[in-house]
Structure 1
Amino acid sequence: MNTQSDRIIFTLKTVHKFLIGVILISLFCACTEHTTTTYEYTFQNPKISFEERATDLIHQMTLGEKVSQMRYDAPEIERLGVPAYNWWNECLHGVARAGEATVFPQGIGMGATWNPTLIHDMGVAVSDEARAKHHKFAKEGKRGIYQGLTFWTPNINIFRDPRWGRGQETYGEDPYLTSRIGVNYIKGLQGDDPKYLKLVATAKHFAVHSGPEKSRHQDNYQVSNRDLYETYLPAFEAAVKEAKVHSIMCAYNRFRDEACCGSNLLLQKILRDDWDFQGYVVSDCWAIADFWEPNRHGLTETAAEAGALAVTSGTDLNCGNVYDPNLKEAVLKELIDESKLDIALKRLFTARFKLGMFDAAEDVKWAQTPYDVVASDKHYQLSEKVARESMVLLKNEDQLLPLSKDITSIAVIGPNANSKQALLGNYHGTPHQFITPLKAIKDKLPNAQINYALGSDVAEGWPILEPIPTSVLKNGDKKGLKGAYFANRSWEGEPALVRNDTAVHFIWMPEKPVKDIQNDEFSVRWTGQIIPKETGSYRIGLKASSGGKIYFNEQLQFEFSDDHEPKTRYFDTELTKGVAYDIKIDYFNYHTDPQAHLVWAKKDQDLLSPAIEAAKKSDVVVLCLGLSPNIEGEEMPVLLEGFDKGDRSEITLPKTQIRLLKEIHALGKPTVLVLMNGSALAVNWADENIPAILEAWYPGEFGGKAIADVLFGDYNPAGRLPVTFYKSVENLPDFKSYDMGNRTYKYFKGDPLYAFGHGLSYTNFIYTNLEVSDVVEAQKEIALKVAVTNAGKVDGDEVVQVYITHINSTNDAPIRSLVGFKRIHLKANETKTVDFSITPKLYAQLDEAGNKIYLEGKMSISIGGRQPTADELNNSVATNLVSKVVTIK
């Protein structure tokens, strides 16, 4: 560029490039400004933290709006774009009370698997169904109870006493086993996404809570710090620290004079200060009303004071009606500062933001879950697997089991042989499958003669109710009852549908009977007559969800409106053959699991004789006995011999079943006893006289198939007891005593019927080559390994259990403690080496203050398929267990 013209051309090119750059930058900025989203409120911006969004949202609310969002059924705040939300949902062993869902084994059966990895997989499956159902509900504009993403599960209380009716919901009596099962279930439920929660799990009931049911609204429990920190808190601590559970439910009772939902010790010092819990606390339902209502805790005089006490102590959400509107009064009367409400609300709305409820569905991983996961084949297979792994073979004398499939005739007898409810337990969903033991055995032996008989009632005064058949129902000249269906919950106006129903035996799933309704609310009125074919005493009942009432000969017999899962209300009456009795049933539905069943039983029937005849003409007898979730469970009105308002006063089989058991045994037939129940049973006579006993719990919708697979050798059982089976209540302390002395395998000094950890197999396992250091340095991990060999001819699982005992301990240490376990599979003649690491936290002892201490001395370590006996603590030579004494220095 030596000429002036060259310089001019260069300058023009440079200016041209500059102008093009300016134009491009301007266009880019214009496009950027055009695509930038503007928000009316800061909380709507998904790019800021959940906590900031929650804080901004709360800042926009009035006092009344704040209070309304602290109740479980929080209403819409239309002006802020906050939709209504019901925090109440359940998934104890599958999504519950929300219509169709896969029903897995009850919690106690989950514990009996001793397989945390399997329970994690179960949690993933359950949360898949939960997400799918929630988004379907939301698309339909449904935001009611059992339709959200905050689940009041799991129950990780310690099953310290077999009399507790809700013990079936737990994972057993041991804090370590409970923590391993609980942590894995919570992780499966809450998901692994780094930003969004799949759902919120809730560990309950915090803390020191396990019955009695009938006095839970008044009781005040006192325990030592050692029992508190050794037994009642470890599973909760693990849920908070390891599983990062996002919610805790506080319990009904008082602990050390403070209501659990108003306890500074539990909710502030331990939960938030010591454990750094970052989630929210929800009250058990109507627990805060117990603060002030007559004959309860007597802690406050008014509802406003109760609400203020609960929020100040750390209970953020109220399942009940104390907070709204009483917290507004409490603020205005200066019983509580409004800033305390803001703290609680920040925790609550942070959870909703973490669930992705205020963000676009395409941005939330879990919102893409398809509905076809619900009750899918994959989940069915998993439910069946959990059921199989929960089966515990208690006894198998002379190898009666497995039974031959070449049997030509078999008697299947007992009140649980064909019971659907005995599959489900409590807090359950509605399955498409009901595979009872009777059905499964029929399927297993298509060419055999199956002789079925009920044999007995579940308990004296508690007959088995069956649907009233069409043959005794009349509606004018038609068989059945007239059904008038209304598109509202109050039988108002003209019915949307009138038809003749041949029987009232309905599970409306997934379609409701009234088409085109926009929510789940509808009602039905059935009218007609019952004309019995036999004279006698009858029990007539209505098993229904939501609510209903029955009129018999124009007289109201009962009504109810508070059932959250199908329960049976009933009345007793005398009926005469051929006489027509008017009946009217009013049923209404308000949530997503509508069911109505008109049921009855003739009370004075001879059930025993048909059972004896069935057994006489059979080669083998399978007796399906046990309990029922209809008589053991949460705070029930049931008062029968041996049962007390949901709990039990005796732990034996009911007398009706014992009589059946003895009559069948007297026939001399090969007999297998199958137990279906939610808590330990003192089956002492059966243990002495019946050659084979299988514990099946409440095993879920595929439970009967799992039972039949074990009975006929298609599955080798390997479940282990998560609780001790005692011989009598006389072996136990007072039910209301929460002191752990002489309770559970850790402290019980007597001789149990079946020990915690017990369970037999169709093969034999041998333990050899235990490797562990002779001397252990205090507060260091203890590494150990052992060889396990399947010495039999059948493949199978083994549950390898590790126990420690501090020898000559001077501070009332447990007799022994579980510190490790693994469920492994071994083929016939296969050997595997299994490794464990016992952390200092697990082998530490506790002083009176509950502090961990590491004392020098001797400690026995035992590894096997069961607990060690007292004689096996020093270098055991048993084939299925090895022990070694180490020195802690």
Structure 2
Amino acid sequence: MAYKTFLALLLLSYFLSVVSSARHNPSVSTHLISNEDGGPGKNGSIPKNGHVCDPARFKSLGLNMADFAYCDKSLPYEIRVKDLVDRLNLFEKAAQMGDNTSIGVPRIGLPRFSWWSEALHGVSDVGRSTKFEPTIPSATSFPMAVSNEARAMYNEGQAGLTFWSPNINVVRDPRWGRTLETAGEDPFLVGLYAVNYVRGLQDLEGEESNSKDPNARPLKVSACCKHFTAYDVENSLGVSRLEFDAKVHERDMVETFNKPFEMCVKDGDVSSVMCSYNRVNGIPTCADPYLLKKTVRQDWDFHGQHWLDDTVEDASAQVLKAGLDLDCGFSYESLINATMNGLVRESDMDTSLKYLYTVLMRLGFFDGIPSLESLDKKDVCTKENIELATEAAREGIVLLKNEKQTLPLDSSKIKTLALIGPHANATDVMIGNYAGVPCDLVSPLKGFSKFGKVIHEKGCEFVNCTDTKLVSSAANAAKKADATILFMGINLDIEAEWVDRTDILLPNYQTHLVNAVADAANGPVILVIMSAGPIDISFAKINPKIGSIIWAGYPGEQGGRAIADVVFGNYNPGGRLTVTWYEGDYVEKLPMTSMPLRPTINEASKESYPGRTYKFFDGATVYPFGYGLSYTTFEYNHKATTTSLDIKLNKLQHCRALPYKAGSNVDDVHCPSILVDDLTCKDEIAFEITVQNVGEMDGSEVVLVYSVPPKEIDETHFKQLVAFERVFVPAKESKNVKFVLNACKALGIVDVNGYTLLPAGLHKIVVGDNAISIPIKVNYKHE
């Protein structure tokens, strides 16, 4: 599915609007080119829109290109890459395997190459490959990004081809600082996000698949799914990500942490995977051959290279042997001594270099890709791209509260607006981290100024809001206005890479500011929250003076325009939360470093820890996963049916036991479950839902589909997301939405040993908030 098409279907707002932060982005940046881009020179640099295998370039180096088989386009990549690697000596090999040391080899015509580019939500100048210059001084800052701008900047000599995006780690804990970079707490959602992000970044039209040789499929730019795996601690109460040892059960690895990466590799065909900073069960992920070689390359059939995000210099030999191809630092310089001392073989370096250069050949670094050569500065910051950024921000906004239809505001009745709060004039805050130079930043102040006179008061000088000196002037502004909009939340000082949160509350006096302004206001009060992670705003939820609450995430460069469009009804919000908004005391009930998803008992303290994410937490929430309101009302209808899957087993398909809850009546279950790997998994569950808009306003509804396992089974999820679709329905009209689910994927559970099983018994497919429940009976019988 093309990126733009997927964007139109997208449901969950985080995924659409929280887009900024780590080293994982899908679209736009990486410098593979030499530092000098003016044309072939003594250092063998590549001219703008040029490529390695240019006869004129080789001639400028005093070389005959015909003497180098790696530039012979008639040969397969495998042969060409072998010829290239065989020409390198040990010192030259080591010099190509680190981002800081890929210096090129002029004697054979190989130019310098820089691997590190970022495109989390648009082309970013974080990294060593991208630069903004007069030719292209900026790029579109999306809630998400597209690949045309990346390739255009590469063609202009201002970016690279290998982008270290997307970040697809699951949000396990609400305190995680890099929540703003990824797509939420559900592994299926994050995995689907990864697949479409990668496809949107890498795929050339007409070249989406190559069944004969996936390693020959051309790439528009290279994506990188990171960080593999079980990574979601930055610096929690003194525990650094570089030292953290994630103690993870195999069940949680299969069920949650690895699932998005498996989807990224299998369905997205990503060309690179980055390992994480931490250890998993005592072993650094970058040095674990079970994870890198067996799981990613063998089990998932990975076509690409691995990226090292962090390693220790004296472990370079170990991580290379484990399957790590590239170091984004300096550590692989030590491979020379490691090889001479017999710690690693030179042939191990050859293997990694072949993977690396195969990807560069697929990117056209050596030969060019004619269909992409017309992309240039005219394709960056286009009107269409800016409109796409605006639409993505609108779709990502979540309406959390709307008492007595406070919103949308009637622009004909609102002459004066009070915009209050530390984010009322937000600019850079909206684009998060790993950001570049946006085309056109539209702050809330600028966006709302088009709808009437605006009185702007900060209320707090900074986001941390450490005093109340500006509260009275903010309250006075609310008294004078026809409507008051409070822009509150957090920023990258509070949640970011290297910065985990210590609580999930508004900072310091922000709550006091909100209450004081709401009490003073004469007109309707709307609270807008900018954040990635959840915030306990229970006080605002129950305050009758606050009519509406909006969560905007970090909405990109057009955020102010998008929020104003929603507030004044130019757009009917339809976004949904992709993370659970817990009550504030949730973080006091378990340490961030506790990795289990299911409720547990701490062996040392004997304390009970609650479950994590909507799949395993059954306590009170401020707002649940998938929550989001609209200005209209939707109703679901479905013809009541019961689907029965009667699966015949042969003598080689063995029944597996399941843990059942005490007192469950399961005497009639003769075969509790079957290993999914032992099934053909061709059974499908098909159903159609009618979505009716019974309100007065056109709008989009995100239809969420969950599976619920048989109630007798213990130690499994309450429910899990298995499908979703966004559908636009005009007022008083209806639309049918058809779903076809694979039974094994939709109904499977993971047992304590990490096996995926399809249980017998009565499952349910639940649509929406239990609006529709479809029974699915699974029966096994041996032939």
Flag whether TM exceeds 0.5 (same fold): yes
CA distance in 1, matches of 2:435, 2:139: 9
Specify the SS of the correspondent of 2:777: strand
Q: Contact between 2:141 and 2:436, CA under 8 Å: does it hold in 1?
A: no
> Who is 1:590 aligned against?
none
> Who is 2:420 aligned against?
413
CA distance in 1, matches of 2:185, 2:494: 21
CA distance in 2, matches of 1:184, 1:771: 33
> Who is 1:620 aligned against?
483
Q: How far off its partner does 1:212 sit? A: 3.3
Q: How far off its partner does 1:608 sit? A: 1.6
Deviation per CA, 1:136-158, whole angstroms, max 9, x where unpaired?
Answer: 11xxxx7xxxx211000000000
CA distance in 2, matches of 1:368, 1:307: 41
CA distance in 2, matches of 1:72, 1:777: 55
Instruction: Indicate yes or no: 2:628 matched with 1:763.
Output: no
> Matches of residues 368-517 of structure 1 in structure 2 within 5 Å?
368-406=374-412, 407-445=414-452, 449-460=453-464
CA distance in 2, matches of 1:51, 1:443: 58
Instruction: Indicate yes or no: 2:688 matched with 1:785.
Output: yes
**Matched letter for residue 615 of structure 1:** A
Q: How far off its partner does 1:372 sit? A: 0.7
> Who is 1:824 aligned against?
727
Q: 1:270 to 1:331 in 2, by over 3 A?
A: same
Q: How far off its partner does 1:793 sit? A: 1.2
CA distance in 2, matches of 1:370, 1:252: 36
Instruction: Indicate yes or no: 2:761 matched with 1:739.
Output: no
**Matched letter for residue 270 of structure 2:** V
> Who is 1:288 aligned against?
311
**Matched letter for residue 425 of structure 2:** N
Q: 1:281 to 1:771 in 2, by over 3 A?
A: farther
> Who is 1:355 aligned against?
363
Structure having the higher strand fraction is 1
CA distance in 2, matches of 1:605, 1:796: 40
Q: Contact between 1:787 and 1:832, CA under 8 Å: does it hold in 2?
A: yes
> Matches of residues 191-206 of structure 1 in structure 2 within 5 Å?
191-192=203-204, 194=207, 195-206=217-228
**Matched letter for residue 765 of structure 2:** I
Instruction: Indicate yes or no: 2:762 matched with 1:858.
Output: yes
Q: How far off its partner does 1:837 sit? A: 1.4
Instruction: Indicate yes or no: 2:703 matched with 1:800.
Output: yes
CA distance in 2, matches of 1:239, 1:704: 33
CA distance in 1, matches of 2:639, 2:247: 42
Deviation per CA, 1:165-184, whole angstroms, max 9, x where unpaired?
Answer: 10100000001111112111
Q: 1:760 to 1:104 in 2, by over 3 A?
A: farther
Q: Which has the larger radius of gyration?
A: 1
Instruction: Indicate yes or no: 2:143 matched with 1:134.
Output: no
1:209 pairs with one of 231, 238, 246: 231
> Who is 1:261 aligned against?
286
> Who is 1:888 aligned against?
778
Q: Contact between 2:637 and 2:691, CA under 8 Å: does it hold in 1?
A: yes
> Who is 1:682 aligned against?
536
**Matched letter for residue 148 of structure 2:** D
Instruction: Indicate yes or no: 2:472 matched with 1:609.
Output: yes
1:694 pairs with one of 536, 545, 550: 550
Q: How far off its partner does 1:160 sit? A: 1.0
> Who is 1:550 aligned against?
none
Q: How far off its partner does 1:459 sit? A: 4.3
> Who is 1:315 aligned against?
324
> Who is 1:504 aligned against?
none
> Matches of residues 576-725 of structure 1 in structure 2 within 5 Å?
606-635=469-498, 646-669=499-522, 670-689=524-543, 690-725=546-581
Q: Percentage identity across aligned positions?
A: 38
Q: How far off its partner does 1:771 sit? A: 5.2
Structure 1's unaligned 5+ residue stretches are: 1-36, 111-121, 290-302, 463-603, 636-645, 869-880
Specify the SS of the correspondent of 1:655: coil
Deviation per CA, 1:86-128, whole angstroms, max 9, x where unpaired?
Answer: 100001111111434444444xxx6xxxxxxxxxxx5xxx211
Specify the SS of the correspondent of 1:651: coil
2:76 pairs with one of 40, 45, 49: 49
**Matched letter for residue 655 of structure 1:** N
Q: 1:651 to 1:803 in 2, by over 3 A?
A: same
Deviation per CA, 1:859-882, whole angstroms, max 9, x where unpaired?
Answer: 121112xx33xxxxxxxxxxxx21
Q: 1:772 to 1:190 in 2, by over 3 A?
A: farther
Deviation per CA, 1:465-497, whole angstroms, max 9, x where unpaired?
Answer: xxxxxxxxxxxxxxxxxxxxxxxxxxxxxxxxx
1:367 pairs with one of 368, 373, 380: 373
2:645 pairs with one of 776, 783, 790: 776
CA distance in 1, matches of 2:138, 2:694: 41
**Matched letter for residue 614 of structure 2:** Y
Structure 2's unaligned 5+ residue stretches are: 1-63, 126-130, 208-216, 599-610, 648-680
Specify the SS of the correspondent of 1:198: coil
CA distance in 1, matches of 2:726, 2:419: 32
Q: Contact between 1:250 and 1:282, CA under 8 Å: does it hold in 2?
A: yes
Deviation per CA, 1:284-322, whole angstroms, max 9, x where unpaired?
Answer: 1xx112xxxxxxxxxxxxx3x411011011110001111
Q: Contact between 2:234 and 2:497, CA under 8 Å: does it hold in 1?
A: no
**Matched letter for residue 201 of structure 1:** A
Q: How far off its partner does 1:365 sit? A: 2.3
Q: Contact between 2:122 and 2:435, CA under 8 Å: does it hold in 1?
A: yes
CA distance in 1, matches of 2:275, 2:140: 26
**Matched letter for residue 344 of structure 1:** S
Specify the SS of the correspondent of 1:288: coil
> Who is 1:726 aligned against?
582
1:64 pairs with one of 66, 91, 97: 91
Specify the SS of the correspondent of 1:368: coil
Instruction: Indicate yes or no: 2:315 matched with 1:306.
Output: yes
Specify the SS of the correspondent of 2:692: strand
**Matched letter for residue 265 of structure 1:** Y
Provide TM-score, normalisation by structure 1. 0.70
> Who is 2:167 aligned against?
155
Q: RMSD of the TM alignment (CA)?
A: 1.7
**Matched letter for residue 288 of structure 1:** T
Q: Which is worse superposed, 656-665 or 162-171?
A: 656-665
1:346 pairs with one of 350, 354, 358: 354
Q: Contact between 1:733 and 1:743, CA under 8 Å: does it hold in 2?
A: no
CA distance in 1, matches of 2:225, 2:256: 16
CA distance in 1, matches of 2:406, 2:593: 41
CA distance in 1, matches of 2:360, 2:96: 12
